[in-house]
Chain A
Amino acid sequence: MTDDARFGLARHVTLPGPLRLDGGVLLSPVDIAYETYGTLNADASNAVLICHALTGDHHVASPHPVTGKPGWWTRMVGEGKPVDPARHFIVCSNVIGSCMGSSGPATVNPATGQPWGMSFPVLTIRDMVRAQAMLLDHLGIDTLQAVVGGSMGGMQALSWPATFPERVRAAVIIASTARHTAQNIAFHEVGRQAVMADPKWRGGDYYEEGDAPSAGLAVARMAAHITYMSEAGLTEKFGRRLQKREQKSFGFDADFQIESYLRYQGLSFVDRFDANSYLYITRAMDYFDLAEEHGGHLANAFRATKARFCLVSFDTDWLYPTPESRAIVHALNAAGAPVSFVELHSPFGHDAFLLDAPEMNRVVDGFLRAGA
């Protein structure tokens, strides 16, 4: 099995599809970039799917090919971690719509031979989940031991048992929500407008010139980044401290450390992310409303599944605050599903799920072991 070319780091597969999307379009073929860790056991019962967030990728526990940084969730996935390749067969795939090797606006439309650009079909979170299910079919995995995700990854983890009730035995949903609120949509719209206002965006057809709307995308990232941190965290990290200067410049340089930090976050982001993908994925998140997909009652989303659920929120997360997790918990209770939930303390806001959080690891580890 170790010689199987389907398994390992930096894998890529072109599946014939077609994948019927929520928008009514058939996507074919479907490219998926993914990685696997650990060994699939004989009855294929130890598979754990990790779902990534908005700007994430499939390199969950291996170095990023562009930045060289360690995998984005090595605190959760790896030797001795709650999701452990010694016990689990771990799968992480790049969501469709993204730009790390899976089908998205930057990949080539086989019908035209040109990059899709804005002719790529608009996607939903459920479409991403269906593409993951196609990948699991390809890998010979019928049922997941667990699906685990934070933020947008949590939306996918929540959609999994709702979309494929028989194919998942446990779901871990961290710092996430069952729907985007008006405020969530508003922040995303600011980001999208920043991209589209950049003259280099050209309606999404910037690939040939190799001159991407980096300024607009950087601003989008800056605005989003603010929502990932708490006010207290920002104050502690930056306060009103000035950046490498004794006095204010009475100009518009990055006088404050927070300005310099945000500019850096924006600039470094454009090196690793495609502007059109940012539009498509934020759109998918804004369209997400799991209750709406189930007759307006969130509990109905979970009536068919026997999966166990574990939810974790963080007290300073104002992007997806604790009441959003509680609403999911109440719906799961109403549906009679086994559910655990805890709100943990962290000064780091929404980003907390990616940072060191021993209590989160303890909860997720215990939850996953209970179902093994």
Chain B
Amino acid sequence: MSLRPDLAIIADSVAAGTRVLDVGCGDGSLMAALRDRSGVDARGLEIDAGNVAAAVSRGLSVIQGDADSDLAEYPDASFDYAILSQTLQTTRRPDVALDHLLRIGKRAFVSFPNFAHWRVRASLLSRGRMPVTRLLPEQWFDTPNIHHVTIDDFRAFVAGRGITVEGAWFLAGDQRAKSAMANLFAEHAVFLLRR
């Protein structure tokens, strides 16, 4: 089974034998890959009961919970990596979630869809309607993405907070995109952060 491209980047970058918390782990695809390929001790947090059941039935340790309310319960520096993939833009307080991520994990992976991708811009500019794209498939009224963010927004945010960026990957379609002009041409970004 092949991983979603952003998850594949994370799976390739996590050191073997480490401890990982996957926040918003879905059905546990990334956790299972990390466990099976790299002997990672992976734990998950997931809001959807069906996804939790699917992940637990593959033998993973996953807790049903909410990134907005449950991250506070995890002890400091209890994981080597905390991962927030495609979830940052769904939290009520992305800033608080990110603080917790960097408190719980010694490092954090954060991936999100880029709201400044040219297709999103074009849709808003030409049609004057909220964009519905491959990575943002929901209508404005039923989308879980309540805090849209662009790559440049995110870069400014982490710089303003003194967070170190140890790595950044950009994706257009399933292909890697260049860092230059990523804010315009990347659909998707993955950041590796350290406090």
**Interface on A for B, CB 8 Å cutoff?**
308, 310, 326, 329-330, 333-334, 336, 338-345, 359, 362-363, 365-367, 369-371
B62 touches A333 (CB 8 A): no
B49 touches A367 (CB 8 A): no
A366 touches B58 (CB 8 A): yes
Contact A340 B60, CB 8 Å, known A333-B73, A333-B74, A334-B75: yes
B63 touches A340 (CB 8 A): yes
B residues near A370, Cβ cutoff 8 Å: 58-60
Contact of B61 among A334, A339, A344 (CB under 8 A): A339
A338 touches B53 (CB 8 A): no
A329 touches B63 (CB 8 A): yes
Question: Which of A338, A366, A369 is most buried by chain B, counting CB atoms within 10 A of its CB?
Answer: A366
How would you classify the secondary structure of chain A's contact residues: helix, strand, loop or mixed?
helix
30 A-B pairs whose Cβ atoms sit less than 8 Å apart in the complex: A326-B65, A329-B63, A330-B73, A333-B63, A333-B74, A334-B73, A338-B61, A339-B61, A339-B63, A340-B60, A340-B62, A340-B63, A341-B52, A341-B65, A342-B62, A343-B49, A345-B49, A359-B49, A359-B50, A362-B53, A362-B57, A363-B52, A363-B56, A363-B57, A365-B57, A366-B53, A366-B59, A370-B58, A370-B60, A371-B59
Contact A342 B74, CB 8 Å, known A308-B61, A329-B63, A359-B49: no
A340 touches B61 (CB 8 A): yes
Lowest 7 A-B CB distances belong to which pairs?
A370-B59, A366-B57, A338-B61, A330-B73, A342-B52, A340-B56, A341-B63
Q: How far is the CB of A353 from chain B (nearest CB, A)?
A: 15
B residues near A333, Cβ cutoff 8 Å: 63, 73-75, 78
Bound-complex Cα distance A310 to B57 (A): 11
B106 on the A face (CB < 8 A): no
B64 on the A face (CB < 8 A): yes
Residue-wise interface mask of B (47-88) relative to A, using a CB-CB cutoff of 8 A (1 in contact, 0 not): 001101101111111111100000001110010000000000
B43 on the A face (CB < 8 A): yes
Q: How far is the CB of A302 from chain B (nearest CB, A)?
A: 13
